[in-house]
């Protein structure tokens, strides 16, 4: 039995709660309390119902994380969209599965599904955290507190960020741009939250280290192309969802033991 | 919750377009872009990748020396370039400007609903000197002249280039004195497959046009690139520059995705004396806000559906003008005729609206930038957020008159606290010295200290009228 504080999900809940609070206190265009409440209620209730249906024990941690992520990342022009997003996210976890785990990071799935299906109601705001050293350090700090508790999978965020940084600097060199430009791009808070709190979700990334390298490289290349060639502002989310869909293939090529949260359970 | 309220009111049709409702205060004054020296004013209308950019031109100097270089995403044919009237940009600037509004307190002695509301929360265009002119030999520089024409008072050249040194050489030969570092920036745009839009003044045409100033230039193109190039402008400028970007979109607010967007402080009660110095106030407030954010953010000054305003700093732009500014999705106005009365039916007069409500959303973004704080061009996105925002500052006039009743006395006693709050608000927003503010308010006859409140009139003074 592992003591609860070793579970990375506690650190994730604390970090994401801190981000929501920081937004509400300091930032404009912050989520309202109602958004947080609706997201949480819908995620927890959906999880509870789904657990009853599949006969698994109810665990509040994962739906809480999903609802906090959605509160931070998804913006909607009407309140009813938020619980819908949470329901979609949690449902995807129970229905879209491969092997012993779900295919998509739940929040990522809901964001992509809604961007595609309800583009008149939702958007994401890649500029909402700005690009300052202070916010960047805060996000990295919280990110580290989570990742150091993810046994054997802590590398994902760093792999992605390393490759993304390399691409940004190579592009700047090729264009002859001053290095201020990639440096500015890499301090973007939304990028860092994606790296440390979404693509690093240990349940939805390849099990083997080599698989994760190729995975990180693919997400980064795809998202970079979408961003700079096709001018897609939501590129990171699309790229991650697309690669998650191919993750079972990665796990077939590079075999390793699938990740499980520190406590025994069938479904997270 | 705010969203729901707005939705409900909208459904009730309360928002008559073009009508000042005095719901958000009576309009007093506005802070237009002219406050900020040499602020660039750019209007950008965009939907479905179709983009129209209007650039106001406040070039002061010898017209022979005017020349601009703007990176554009595609080669523009003659029909894609236009000159328009200054008044359109001035109008959209006035309509979206931060505004001062005022309220007048009711007489507390007669107001039956009297309540003590003591504290109502109440692209940089690159203008370059021309040195000389020489015959063109573009191809020698690896530069292709894609198009060349005259529109209005401007001679336009659209260039594409293979190498930045070639382009630089060509521009130099053409008399453009380029700032240091321009070669690298031009090179970056070349590799991003951008073309270059060059404009100079055609003096003959200018003389013929009869205008004493240069009219705004407009370009129309279709591109997935939703951005505003500011990098060339940061090269030759010393210190900070101001850019005011007005966007017209179909759905909602526009924001920058590579810089944080921040709402300008708004809805604050400030001392009444600011009425005479609103321009100074707004400038100081903007400076303070920009400093606080280390000049690394884009400020939202206005975001509203184009069909109404409350209070209006200027009337909403008519659909015809919105189309001229590039809102191509708005139907060309039709002559509206009253429906013919049915035979036998009693004739009724149906007031016809002057135009259908505009399907356009305007966003006013104010950026104070330099090469260090804004290293990248502005990358923009349209959101579906159509909630309203305006920079709005409130003056609350106190009631002047007989305040001998009990409510009146309470009202008087409440004023020092309220005025102190106004002084603090103003000091906080502008960084002005609080003691200066208090003194000014005192000089203006405001009650600032409890001790200044006049003693209540003795009850017996009012019972006998003496001749």
- Residue ending a domain, choose from A124, A154, A185: A124
3-state secondary structure A90-120: HHHHHHCEECCEECCCHHHHHHHHHHHHCCC
CB contact under 8 A, A123 and B384: yes
One domain, residues A169 and A212: yes
Over residues A183-188, the mean pLDDT reads 94
pLDDT by 10-residue block (mean), chain B, 467 residues: 28 25 55 73 94 86 81 91 92 93 86 46 38 54 90 91 86 76 88 90 87 88 92 77 93 94 94 92 94 92 90 89 93 57 44 58 94 92 93 90 83 90 95 94 86 76 71
The answer to the question of residue A3 being in a domain is: no
One domain, residues A62 and A157: no
The answer to the question of residue A17 being in a domain is: no
Q: Report how many helices (DSSP H) and strands (DSSP E) chain A contains, helices first.
A: 12, 4
CA B236 to mean position of chain CA atoms: 25
Question: How far B257 CA lies from chain A's nearest CA (Å)?
Answer: 4
A259 or B268: whose pLDDT is higher? B268
One domain, residues A247 and A158: yes
Residue B402 has a pLDDT of: 80
The answer to the question of residue A153 being in a domain is: yes
User: What b/e readout covers B198-215, taking b as 16+ CB neighbours within 10 angstroms?
Assistant: bbbbbeeebeeeeeeebb
pLDDT per residue over A21-76, tens digit each? 999 999 989 999 999 999 999 999 999 999 999 988 898 999 999 999 999 999 99
Q: Which residues of chain A are within 8 Å of residue B1 when distances are taken between CB atoms?
A: 32, 34
One domain, residues A178 and A146: yes
Question: What ipTM score was computed for the predicted complex, to two decimals?
Answer: 0.91
One domain, residues A201 and A240: yes
CB contact under 8 A, A122 and B385: no
- Name the strand (E) or helix (H) holding B146: strand B143-151
Q: Which of B381, B387, B389 to substitute to test the interface with A, most A CBs within 10 Å?
A: B381
Looking at the structure of chain A, the number of domains it has is 2
Name the band, by pLDDT with cuts 50, 70 and 90, for residue A6: confident
What is d(CA B214, CA A202) in angstroms, rounded to the nearest whole number?
Answer: 60
In Å, how far are B230, B251, B266 from B254, measured between CA atoms?
17, 9, 19
One domain, residues A169 and A191: yes
CB contact under 8 A, A180 and B187: no
Q: What is the mean pLDDT of chain A?
A: 90
Residue B23 has a pLDDT of: 45
What is d(CA B446, CA B274) in angstroms, rounded to the nearest whole number?
Answer: 13
- Residues of B within an 8 Å Cβ radius of A: 1, 3-4, 164, 184, 187-188, 191-192, 224-226, 251-252, 255-263, 294, 296-298, 300, 372, 375-376, 379, 381, 383-386
pLDDT per residue over A235-254, tens digit each? 999 999 999 999 989 888 98
What is d(CA A148, CA A142) in angstroms, rounded to the nearest whole number?
Answer: 10
CB contact under 8 A, A132 and B386: no
The answer to the question of residue A114 being in a domain is: yes
The answer to the question of residue A267 being in a domain is: no
What is d(CA A69, CA B368) in angstroms, rounded to the nearest whole number?
Answer: 32
One domain, residues A194 and A239: yes
One domain, residues A90 and A180: no
One domain, residues A150 and A249: yes
How many Cβ atoms sit within 10 Å of the Cβ of residue B77? 13
The answer to the question of residue A82 being in a domain is: yes
The answer to the question of residue A212 being in a domain is: yes
Q: Which domain holds residue A170?
A: 136-253
- Residue A35 and residue A87 in contact, taking contact as beta carbons nearer than 8 Å: no
Name the band, by pLDDT with cuts 50, 70 and 90, for residue A176: very high
């Amino acid at each position: 039995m592992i003591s609860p504080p070793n579970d990375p999900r506690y650190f994730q809940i604390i970090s994401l709660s801190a981000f929501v609070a920081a937004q509400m206190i300091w930032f404009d265009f912050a989520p309202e309390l109602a958004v947080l409440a609706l997201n949480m209620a819908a995620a927890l209730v959906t999880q509870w119902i789904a657990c009853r249906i599949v006969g698994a024990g109810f665990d509040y941690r994962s739906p809480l994380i999903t609802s906090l992520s959605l509160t931070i990342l998804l913006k909607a022009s009407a309140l009813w969209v938020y619980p819908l997003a949470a329901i979609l996210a949690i449902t995807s976890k129970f229905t879209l599965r491969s092997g012993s785990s779900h295919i998509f990071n739940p929040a990522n799935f809901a964001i992509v599904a809604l961007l595609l299906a309800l583009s008149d109601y939702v958007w994401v705001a890649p500029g909402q955290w700005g690009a300052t050293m202070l916010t960047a350090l805060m996000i990295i700090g919280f990110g580290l507190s989570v990742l150091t508790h993810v046994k054997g999978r802590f590398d994902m965020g760093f792999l992605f960020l390393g490759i993304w940084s390399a691409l940004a600097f190579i592009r700047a060199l090729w264009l002859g741009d001053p290095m201020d430009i990639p440096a500015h791009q890499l301090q973007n808070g939304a990028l860092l939250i994606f790296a440390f709190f979404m693509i690093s979700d240990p349940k939805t990334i390849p099990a083997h280290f080599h698989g994760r390298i190729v995975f990180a490289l693919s997400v980064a290349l795809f998202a970079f192309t979408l961003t700079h060639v096709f001018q897609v502002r939501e590129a990171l989310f699309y790229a991650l969802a697309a690669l998650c869909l191919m993750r079972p293939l990665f796990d077939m090529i590079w075999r390793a033991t699938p990740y499980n949260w520190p406590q025994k359970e069938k479904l997270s | 919750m705010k969203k729901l309220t707005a939705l409900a009111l909208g459904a009730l049709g309360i928002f008559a377009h073009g009508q000042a409702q005095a719901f958000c205060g009576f309009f007093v004054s506005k802070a237009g872009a002219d406050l900020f020296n040499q602020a660039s004013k750019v209007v950008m209308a965009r939907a479905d990748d179709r983009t129209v950019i209007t650039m106001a031109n406040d070039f002061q100097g010898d017209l022979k020396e005017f020349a601009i270089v703007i990176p554009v995403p595609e080669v523009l044919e003659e029909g894609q370039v236009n000159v328009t009237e200054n008044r359109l940009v001035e109008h959209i600037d006035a309509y979206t400007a931060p505004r001062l509004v005022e309220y007048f307190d009711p007489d507390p002695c007669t107001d039956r609903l009297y309540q003590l509301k003591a504290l109502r929360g109440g692209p940089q265009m690159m203008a370059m000197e021309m040195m000389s002119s020489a015959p063109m030999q573009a191809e020698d520089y690896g530069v292709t002249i894609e198009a060349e024409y005259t529109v209005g008072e401007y001679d336009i050249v659209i260039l594409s280039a293979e190498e930045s040194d070639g382009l630089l050489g060509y521009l130099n030969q053409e008399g453009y004195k380029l700032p240091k570092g321009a070669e690298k920036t031009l090179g970056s745009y070349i590799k991003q497959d951008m073309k270059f839009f060059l404009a100079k003044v055609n003096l003959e045409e200018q003389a013929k046009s009869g205008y004493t100033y240069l009219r705004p230039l407009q370009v129309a193109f279709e591109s997935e690139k939703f951005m505003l190039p500011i990098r060339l402008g940061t090269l030759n400028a010393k210190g900070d520059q101001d850019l005011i970007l007005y966007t017209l979109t179909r759905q909602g607010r526009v924001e920058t995705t590579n810089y944080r967007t921040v709402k300008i402080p708004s809805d604050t009660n400030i001392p009444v004396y600011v009425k005479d110095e609103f321009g100074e106030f707004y400038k100081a407030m903007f400076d303070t806000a920009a400093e606080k954010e280390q000049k690394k953010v884009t400020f939202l000054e206005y975001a509203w559906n184009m069909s109404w305003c409350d209070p209006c700093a200027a009337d909403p732009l008519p659909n015809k003008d919105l189309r001229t500014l590039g809102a191509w999705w708005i139907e060309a106005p039709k002559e509206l005729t009253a429906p013919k009365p049915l035979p036998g039916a009693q004739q009724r007069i149906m007031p016809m609206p002057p135009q259908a409500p505009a399907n356009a959303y305007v966003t006013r973004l104010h950026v104070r930038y330099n090469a260090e704080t804004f290293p990248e061009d502005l990358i923009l996105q349209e959101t579906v957020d159509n909630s309203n925002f305006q920079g709005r500052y409130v003056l609350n006039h106190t009631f002047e008159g007989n305040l001998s009743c009990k409510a009146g006395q309470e009202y008087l006693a409440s004023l020092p606290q309220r005025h102190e709050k106004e002084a603090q608000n103003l000091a906080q927003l502008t960084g002005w010295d609080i003691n200066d503010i208090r003194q000014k308010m005192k000089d203006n006859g405001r009650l600032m200290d409890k001790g200044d409140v006049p003693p209540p009139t003795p009850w017996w003074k009012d019972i006998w009228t003496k001749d």
